């Protein structure tokens, strides 16, 4: 019943929310992608290749430098837990939705290696008001793409964040985007949980305001570091061997 009420509220509030969204696109702070190399190495020992793909979280928006971004902290956590050398590569764009991510993957060289793949995608599908049908289709297609290119890789999908708690968003836009993010994340969890060597990890459901960077939309560098450690721990716990 709560879910049904939320969906009704989503459609009733959508016209006003859409106007607020247009206003934010013109007035919100726009932070750049992280500066620095998008490839690197951390740790010593046997070598594994980490490929981080997706949207602004992977591109390091709000962290200033790539060294403070989620993918690099995740690589460092993997290197420490496995006592190995992690070669990492970032393929991401600020503002990318799932269709655009698939297009970017299609342009990668055929010999691109990946033992572990970190994926963050979906927020821009929420803000772009993608339908649940479109999201389901594109997610299944993305999974097929990943299996075809890297059949032996362990894949970690980060869950969509609880957008109803983003400081930047006014009400009722905050409510409507929160409902849609929850819907898309539920679909992602259902689809990914049925796949071998793939894991969906929900994002913290109670982020605090101080955990965001100055734009009120992206996580701070400090939160990216702690989040990366948690992602690595949970990824290792399910033993997706590579």
The pLDDT tens digits of the residues spanning 164-213 come to 999 999 899 999 999 999 999 999 999 999 999 999 999 875 555 568 99
Alpha-helix runs per DSSP H in 83-131: 98-106, 123-127
Asked whether the beta carbons of 35 and 81 are under 8 A apart, the reply is: no
* Helix or strand holding residue 215 (H, E): none
Asked whether the beta carbons of 62 and 221 are under 8 A apart, the reply is: yes
- The CATH superfamily label for domain 2-237 reads SGNH hydrolase (3.40.50.1110)
Residue 241 has a pLDDT of 55
SS3 239: coil
- The model's pTM: 0.92
**Average pLDDT for 37-51:** 96
Asked whether the beta carbons of 121 and 160 are under 8 A apart, the reply is: no
Residue 68 has a pLDDT of 97
DSSP-derived pairing of the beta strands 116-120 and 154-158: parallel
Residue 238 has a pLDDT of 81
Neighbouring CB atoms inside 10 A of 203's CB total 17
List, in order, residues 6 or more apart from 172 with CB less than 8 Å away. 13, 16, 17, 20
Give tens-digit pLDDT for 50-94. 999 999 999 999 999 999 999 999 999 999 999 999 999 999 999
Q: Is the confidence at residue 106, as pLDDT, over 80? A: yes
SS3 209: helix
20 or 72: which carries more pLDDT confidence?
A: 72
Residue 54 has a pLDDT of 98
């Amino acid at each position: 019943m709560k879910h049904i009420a939320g969906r009704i509220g989503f459609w009733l509030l959508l016209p006003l929310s859409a106007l607020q969204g247009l206003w934010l696109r013109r007035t919100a702070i726009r932070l750049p992608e992280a500066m620095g190399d998008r490839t690197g190495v951390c740790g010593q020992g046997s070598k594994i290749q980490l490929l981080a793909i997706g949207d602004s979280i992977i591109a390091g928006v709000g962290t200033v430098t790539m060294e403070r971004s989620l993918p690099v902290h995740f690589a460092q956590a993997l290197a420490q837990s496995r006592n190995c050398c992690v070669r990492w590569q970032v393929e991401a764009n600020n503002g990318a939705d799932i269709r655009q991510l698939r297009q970017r993957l299609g342009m990668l060289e055929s010999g691109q290696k990946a033992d572990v793949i970190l994926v963050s995608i979906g927020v821009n599908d929420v803000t772009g008001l993608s339908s649940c049908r479109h999201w389901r289709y594109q997610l299944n297609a993305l999974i097929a793409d990943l299996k075809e290119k890297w059949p032996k890789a362990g894949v970690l999908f980060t869950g969509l964040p609880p957008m109803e708690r983003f400081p930047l968003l006014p009400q009722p836009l905050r409510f409507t985007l929160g409902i849609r993010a929850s819907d898309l994340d539920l679909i992602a969890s259902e689809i990914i949980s049925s796949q071998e060597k793939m894991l969906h990890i929900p994002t913290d459901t109670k982020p605090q305001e101080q955990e965001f960077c100055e734009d009120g939309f992206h996580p701070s560098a400090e939160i990216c570091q702690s989040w990366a450690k948690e992602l690595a721990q949970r990824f290792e716990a399910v033993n997706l061997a590579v």
